[in-house]
Amino acid sequence: MKIAVLGAGSWGTALGQVLNENGHDVLLWHLEQDFVDEISKSHTHPFLPGVNLSNTLQFTASLDDISDYGEVLVSAVPSQVVRVVLDKFPSGWKKSVVSVSKGIENNTGMRMSQVILETLHLTTEEIVILSGPSHAEEVSQKFPTTVVAACADINHARDVQKLFSNDYFRVYSGNDVIGVEIGGAAKNIIALAAGICHGLGYGDNTMAALVTRGLEEIIRLGTTLGAERATFSGLSGMGDLIVTAFSPHSRNRQVGERIGKGEKLSYILTGMEMVAEGVETTRSIHGLTQNNNIEMPICEQIYKVLFENISPRQAILKLMGRELVDEHPV
């Protein structure tokens, strides 16, 4: 099968390599022609050190080429530019889309499947979400990895499951699109918080409390928006939260750690070559909590640290000083 990958960052490229090794012809798109020329010549990626890419992986900087290519599109660009890029696709474009971007769109509060639905005028059955604990660096090195493919049409999710699965990349299937997308997006906020705690020098007690209560906030958000609670015990919930909160590969954790050590967010973002999705997702989810009256105190304090300039220590004192309540209200 011919498969187009929109976005040749580390994640898009790692997935392109998986698909290529599974016997598929893969064309990847990147915005910059210089990048395309270099990666086509070297067969290496600057964000996947030590990995030799397949000689048969193809790259392009042409959106016309990528929109024309193949039977399936993998959408792997950062969440805040998904709409901008897909708006440039030709009118009437119709193919299956596998979305692997983890975020919530600013201003609209839309999940990525909703953005794709609105821009490409597809049906929900034509959009599959692929998500779970999966650092690109480790997938590209063939470390055993498991993720989940979710679609309103479970049979389409199973088709994508078969497309990606191999002896080091195992895909489960499901139909809770909302839960899988919310888990993949919201965990990045908790990862920012985990980095902040690490940067402040806090230990295991703090991290355990943060991840446990952070997961409860993610569940509260997801179930309010229509997700199934069980999804958050799975790969796209607890699984993705663990890997993102604890791993040194996590860009969101890295940003949080630098904030915890006293650096300003604007300075950190200026020097970053890759996107930390959690920063803008914090803004988006703050809007969702306000509009839907959802209590998410950790996410609220991370919003204030990022965008209202309160100090991390102030935020933690605020959280620890909240009214005492039952852990599981009756």
Q: Is the pLDDT of residue 273 over 90?
A: no
- Which residue type does 98 have? V
Q: Tens digit of pLDDT for each residue in 149-180?
A: 999 999 999 999 999 999 999 999 999 999 99
With a pLDDT cut of 70, the percent of the chain lying above it is 100
pLDDT number for residue 228: 98
With a pLDDT cut of 90, the percent of the chain lying above it is 96
Residue 330: band (very low, low, confident or very high) from pLDDT cuts 50, 70, 90: confident
Q: Where in the chain is the domain with CATH 1.10.1040.10?
A: 178-320
Q: Where in the chain is the domain with CATH 3.40.50.720?
A: 2-175
Question: Phi and psi dihedrals of 43, rounded to 5?
Answer: 55, 35
pTM for the full predicted model: 0.96
Q: Tens digit of pLDDT for each residue in 103-125?
A: 999 999 999 999 999 999 999 99
94 carries an active-site annotation: no
Catalytic hit among 102, 187, 304, 318: 187
Architecture of domain 178-320: Orthogonal Bundle (1.10)
What average pLDDT is seen over the chain? Answer: 96
- CA separation for the pair 14, 19 (Å, rounded): 9
Residue 272: band (very low, low, confident or very high) from pLDDT cuts 50, 70, 90: confident
Q: What's the whole-number mean pLDDT along residues 307-326?
A: 97
pLDDT number for residue 286: 97
What number does CATH give the domain 2-175?
A: 3.40.50.720
